[in-house]
Amino acid sequence: MNKHFIIILSFSLINCIELNIIKSKKNYNSNKFRALNKNYIIQTNKYKNNFYHINIFIGTPYQEFNLIIDTGSNDFWIYDFDCKECLFNNSFNKNNSITFKKKEKNKQINFFSGTINGIICSDTLKLQDSILNDFNFLLVNESYIDIKIDGIIGLNRKIENESFIEQLYNNKKIDKKIFVTDFYNNKIYISEIPKYLIGYDNITINYNKYKDSKDWTIPIDKILINNSIINLNENDKNVIIDSGNNGLIIPFKYYEFFKNNLFKQLLNKKICSLEQISLSLLYLEFQIQCNNKILNEELFLLTNISFIIDSNLFNISLISLFDKDEFKFNINFIQTVLFEKWIIGIQLLENHPIIFDKENNSLIIYKKNIEIKNDKNSGKIEQIIKISILILIFILILLILIIICYLIYHNKYRTKITKKIIEDKVLNYKNLN
């Protein structure tokens, strides 16, 4: 009875372990799926055009695109293969995708650099290992932008069903409408705040009183350029953060200040020459051409800009605007009364990690860059732990199988002995008779 109980218990234990293994496998896959679909850690790439890009795949079969991360706009768009006058590296061939759908809805988007026109479409989107069916995007068939790019992922503050973050959230691919730019470490986090930022000094900006605005802005008290202070007008204090802008855009009213400070120092030192390259109703654009023999450090000192926010100093440098091959950079002045705001792009984002929180309508800017430590090691440790657990489970199963085999063998052996004894007794009984 005890032996049978042990055998039954052993088989039950095996079944339980098998069920637990299956369950743990399901949980592991579920966690893996969750990690891939509830938050994303994406490597960014900075190309010659000074924009930061991430890889996205669209269509069936997939077509690859390097799209600009743009906190200054709200639309996700790529170029149509049939757009003959568009400048692009990669374009979308809708005829090659079996999941492509056209929605017959036209849209126009206006940028400072030009205008694009297209049609709203949907197709399968792949972000890392996550698949999103019927993803809506703008397929551009007419463009007046003279920058060669694949397209843009718009990430501004406006909440719209067809925007990238909202579509991920509404389709349960993320559980928080948050993204973090850390261009210093070449990363963007979606629906996750990296642990290495915890505990570092930062400033939180709440936008609840600016509900109608679509821009991510920071309230600036003063701007410091080469130890000269710009006292901003009340209307100019909210500086727009635009990662889709690789330059510095300044209201025209500050042109004289720049001319008498920054430009004057560069020209007096005979480091650079100044040339006005465009003049329009909207833009006054200057190109500063510098001697390619000068030291970057000297130019850095002459082009250092600081924003004063809540009595805290946030440093950027115009050196990041430089075309390293031709040693020149452009500064734009907006000369229209319809738009009188400062726009700062990657120069700020390269020096300060920023949490963009659409869920709580707020922004958190960190005072300095943080070096990622043991990021690769922590991933290796987690992998080692997972492998160790699997090995322990395997050893446990092996031990249980050995015990069961022993019990089965022992039971057969005892049965055989018992049968032999009974046969001997029967034989002896027959002989006696």
Structure confidence by residue, pLDDT tens digits, 239-282: 899 998 877 788 878 878 877 777 776 667 666 777 776 666 56
What residues form DSSP beta bridges with 313?
308
Cα–Cα distance, 202 to 365 (Å, whole number): 5
Is pLDDT at 210 greater than 70 in this prediction? no
Predicted confidence band at 75 (pLDDT cuts at 50, 70, 90)?
A: very high
pTM listed for this prediction: 0.73
The 3-state secondary structure of the chain, one letter per residue: CHHHHHHHHHHHHHHHHHHHHHHHHHHHHHHHHHHHHHCEEEECEECCCCCEEEEEEECCCCEEEEEEEECCCCCEEEEECCCCCCCCCCCECHHHCCCCEEEEEEEEEEECCEEEEEEEEEEEEEECCEEEEEEEEEEEEEECCCCCCCEEEECCCCCCCCCHHHHHHHCCCCCCCEEEEEHHHCEEEECCCCHHHCCCCEEEEECHHHCCCCCCEEECCEEEECCEEEECCHHHCEEEECCCCCCEEEEHHHHHHHHHHHHHHHHHCCCEEEEEEEECCCEEEEEEEECCCCCHHHHHHHCEEEEEECCEEEEEEHHHHCECCCCEEEEEEECCCCCCCCEECHHHHCCCCEEEECCCCEEEEECCCCCCCCHHHHHHHHHHHHHHHHHHHHHHHHHHHHHHHHHHHHHHHHHHHHHHHHHHHHHHHHHHC
Tell me how far CA of residue 397 lies from CA of 148, 348, 389, in angstroms. Answer: 59, 56, 12
Predicted confidence band at 20 (pLDDT cuts at 50, 70, 90)?
A: very low
CA–CA–CA angle 9, 14, 15 (5° rounding): 95
Mean pLDDT of the chain, nearest integer? 78
Domain locations along the chain: 2-37+378-432, 40-175, 200-366
Is pLDDT at 61 greater than 80 in this prediction? yes
Average pLDDT value for residue range 164-189: 93
Predicted confidence band at 298 (pLDDT cuts at 50, 70, 90)?
A: low
Is pLDDT larger for residue 257 or for residue 127? 127
Strand 304-309 and strand 312-317: the pairing is: antiparallel
Average pLDDT value for residue range 61-83: 94
In the chain, pLDDT over 90 holds for what percent of residues? 33
Average pLDDT value for residue range 153-164: 89
pLDDT at position 90, please?
92
CATH number for the domain formed by residue range(s) 200-366: 2.40.70.10
**Which residue, 2, 20, 15, 14, is CA-closest to 403?**
14
In the chain, pLDDT over 70 holds for what percent of residues? 73
Is-same-fold flag (40-175; 200-366)?
yes
Q: Which fold has domain 40-175?
A: Cathepsin D, subunit A; domain 1 (2.40.70)
Instruction: For residue range 315-337, list pLDDT tens digits in order.
Output: 776 665 666 665 566 666 666 55
Least confident of 118-127, 255-264, 320-329, 383-392: 320-329
